[in-house]
């Protein structure tokens, strides 16, 4: 006999933007929101009875309907407001709201420069498996010195030469879970981001894994409320281009960026 397992439904890629008017000028928020719900909807799956299924269009409209009053620079607070609203519905046992903010930098009182890869992340789960997360995605960092990779195992397919000096570049995705939500989540996020950047730029690493560990230590040291952090560090390769083939003395300053394939390093660090 068939039996329904764990399930969820929701609305993804809900785009919402908002102007925050301040005395010093405007702030601009550009968000993508995902809402996922869990609840007693077995009847919808098994018998086609939709009385317990909140429409995903309602979820989308709830994001817009609550944005004017509740959306500000505290992403986690807005996600929590949405979660609370959905949990008020009969039969909803958990609400999971994730927010991704595109970074715009203000130029003048009402102008902005943005459109890069970096995103600020926030996530709140209310009800079952409750928790608060924050993070950054698409934070591209590069350094031209201070990174090595040597002492790795070799076999007949290993062509990579060892090096004590190389370009290290990555697009950081780091998502951390709070044991307690900070009073100012925006200031906390800015501190966390700066701690990771300073560690990346300032500490010599023996591998991407070593670099990531030091960044995690810096993050945990800077923010006592962080319980654990999940890193993904894809290695953006810049391969030395051999100019000696052209009869040119190679000073090892010219490289070929290679987007694919790439090393993909992931790990979790907790207290």
Domain CATH number, residue 170: 3.10.270.10
Task: Note down the domain range covering 265.
Answer: 140-270
pLDDT attached to residue 23? 85
pTM of the full structure: 0.92
pLDDT at 11: 98
For the chain, the average pLDDT equals 95
Q: What is the pLDDT of residues 179-194, one digit of tens each?
A: 999 999 999 999 999 9
My answer on whether 145 and 245 are in the same domain is yes
Q: Judge whether 33 lies within some domain.
A: yes
- Domain limit, last residue, from 100, 127, 154: 127
Q: Note whether 144 and 241 are same-domain residues.
A: yes
- Which whole number is the average pLDDT over 199-225? 97
Q: Is residue 134 a part of any domain in this protein?
A: no
Has residue 152 been placed in a domain?
Answer: yes
Domain-terminating residue out of 127, 158, 185: 127
Of 80, 95, 127, the last residue of a domain is: 127
Is 51 domain-assigned? yes
- Domain contains 4: no
Token pair, residue 189, equals 């996020």
Q: Please state the rounded mean pLDDT for residues 207-234.
A: 98
Closest CA to 170 of 226, 232, 224: 232
Is residue 24 included in any domain, yes or no? Answer: yes
What number of residues does the chain have?
271
Q: How many domains does the chain have?
A: 2
What string of H, E and C letters represents the secondary structure of the chain?
CCCCCCCCEEEEEEEEEEEEEECCEEEEEEEEEEEEEEECCHHHHHHCCCCCCCCHHHHHHHHHHHHHHHCCCCHHHHHHHHHHHHHCCCCEEEEEEEEEEEEEEEECCCEEEEEEEEEEEEEEEEECCCEEEEEEEEEEEEECCCECECCCCCCCCCCCCCECCCCEEEEEEEEEEECCCCCCHHHHHHHHHHHHHHHHHHCCECCHHHHHHHHHHHHHHHCCCEEEEEEEEEEEEEEECCHHHHCCCCCCCCEEEEEEEEEEEEEEEEC
Residue pair 233/177 in contact by the 8 Å Cβ criterion = no
Q: What is the reported pLDDT for 232?
A: 98
| Same structural domain, 156 and 207 | yes
Question: pLDDT tens across 17-67, in order?
Answer: 999 998 888 999 999 999 999 999 988 889 998 998 999 999 999 999 999
Active site residues: 11, 56, 237
């Amino acid at each position: 006999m068939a039996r329904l397992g764990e399930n969820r439904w929701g609305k993804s890629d809900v785009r919402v933007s908002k102007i925050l008017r301040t005395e010093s000028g405007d702030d601009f928020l550009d968000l993508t929101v995902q809402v996922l719900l869990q609840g007693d909807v077995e009847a919808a799956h098994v018998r086609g009875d939709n009385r317990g299924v909140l429409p995903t269009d309602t979820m989308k409209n709830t994001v817009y309907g609550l944005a004017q009053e509740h959306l500000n620079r505290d992403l986690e607070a807005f996600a929590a407001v949405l979660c609370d609203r959905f949990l008020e519905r009969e039969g909803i046992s958990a609400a999971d709201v994730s927010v991704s903010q595109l970074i715009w930098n203000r130029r003048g009182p009402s102008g902005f420069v943005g459109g890069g890869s970096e995103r600020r992340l926030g996530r709140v789960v209310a009800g079952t498996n409750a928790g608060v997360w924050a993070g950054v995605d698409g934070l591209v960092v590069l350094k031209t010195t201070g990174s090595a990779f040597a002492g790795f195992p070799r076999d007949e397919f290993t062509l990579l030469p060892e090096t004590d000096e190389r370009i290290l570049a990555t697009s950081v995705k780091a998502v951390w879970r709070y044991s307690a939500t900070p009073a100012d989540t925006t200031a906390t996020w800015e501190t966390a981001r700066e701690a990771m950047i300073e560690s990346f730029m300032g500490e010599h690493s023996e591998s991407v894994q070593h670099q990531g560990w030091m960044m995690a230590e810096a993050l945990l040291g800077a923010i006592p409320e962080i319980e654990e952090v999940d890193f993904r560090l894809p290695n953006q390769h810049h391969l030395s281009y051999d100019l000696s083939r052209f009869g040119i003395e190679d000073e090892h300053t010219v490289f070929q960026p290679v987007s694919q394939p790439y090393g993909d390093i992931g790990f979790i660090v907790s207290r």
